[in-house]
Amino acid sequence: MASTDELHISNLFSLKDHVCLVTGGGTGIGLMATQALASNGAKVYITGRRKEVLDNAAKTHSPQSSNTGQIIPIGPCDVTSKEDLEKLTAELESKEKYLSLVVAAAGVSGPKGYPDTSDAKQMKDNLWSEKLEDWKDTYQTNVISVFFSVVTFLPLLQAAPPKLEASAIIISSMSGLMRHSQAHFSYNASKAATAHLARMMSKEFSKTGVRVNSIAPGYFPSEMTMKESDEKNKAHMPAEKVKDKGHAVPAERAGSDEEMAMGVIFLTKCGYVNGEVLKLDGGVMNEVGGG
């Protein structure tokens, strides 16, 4: 039974002794997760394809207080390559006795195909132009690499002290939960697969003591959604950008770094949560529904 003082937020959400890895940690939601973890005491390794992006993220966003954690670039690593993942695993095993968290945040948006016509021939023409290679690339990054990015680190995760409640957080998307294609059939289908993959991993990996949860973001600013990042590896999504989506966005704005941080820290720390797909969507799914 906890005392009142033990329930202070500084005790509940301290990430002291946590050692984390974030794939896609140099930009977007991966960087938001990295900042949240490091600012609360975790040692956070970030990886991705572009070394200069990783280095800039660490240089720009490392915590300034001596009482907080670290952001450490590692790699680079292409998570679609098992060889790269094996090298990354070996490097981490040489540096750390355990990982307490893996955040799989790497992702791509995939091709677009517009079904916004009632003419079947026109719809076919609009959608048939999509390339099989683009669909395969989308699934390779958004689904297959997520699976192997967690599987390769299972022994390090299992080695974490029990008090750290070792886990993985899979970044899926609200787009994988809705029936609206948003002209992104391949992306939305891949993110549906990602969310269900997280559920399956949560069931099977519980045998090892490793939890798996997923965050399904709505509209958050990132290099992927805004097609660019600034000198701090950050992107901005103005409120008007979310008002022309073909459906209501009850929050009437994009999600913030702070809100993503709250979701990441909650799933990292609450050991009583396993197999959850947490929607951080500004209420969109209340409007569009899903299957």
State the catalytic residue, choosing from 39, 149, 167, 172. Answer: 172
Q: Could you give the domains of the chain?
A: 5-288 (3.40.50.720)
**Average pLDDT of the segment spanning 243-264:** 88
203 is catalytic: no
CB neighbour class for 266 (10 Å; exposed up to 12, middle 13-18, buried from 19):
middle
Under the banding of pLDDT at 50, 70 and 90, the label for residue 225 is low
Q: Is the pLDDT of residue 41 over 80?
A: yes
139 is catalytic: no
Under the banding of pLDDT at 50, 70 and 90, the label for residue 247 is confident
The answer to whether the beta carbons of residues 166 and 210 sit under 8 Å apart is yes
Average pLDDT, the chain: 92
Q: What are the tokens at 40?
A: 């609360």
State the catalytic residue, choosing from 39, 139, 186, 191. Answer: 191
**The dihedral sign for the CA sequence 104, 239, 127, 291:** positive
Q: What is the DSSP letter of 104?
A: E
Q: Is the pLDDT of residue 237 over 80?
A: no
**Average pLDDT of the segment spanning 222-229:** 70
Q: Is the pLDDT of residue 256 over 80?
A: yes
| Beta carbons within 10 angstroms of residue 172's beta carbon | 29
Reduced to 3 states (helix: H, G, I; strand: E, B; else coil), residue 213 is: strand
**76 cis-preceded (ω within 30 degrees of 0):** yes
Under the banding of pLDDT at 50, 70 and 90, the label for residue 239 is confident
pTM listed for this prediction: 0.93
187 is catalytic: yes
State the catalytic residue, choosing from 45, 98, 139, 187. Answer: 187
Separation of alpha carbons 200 and 207, rounded Å: 12
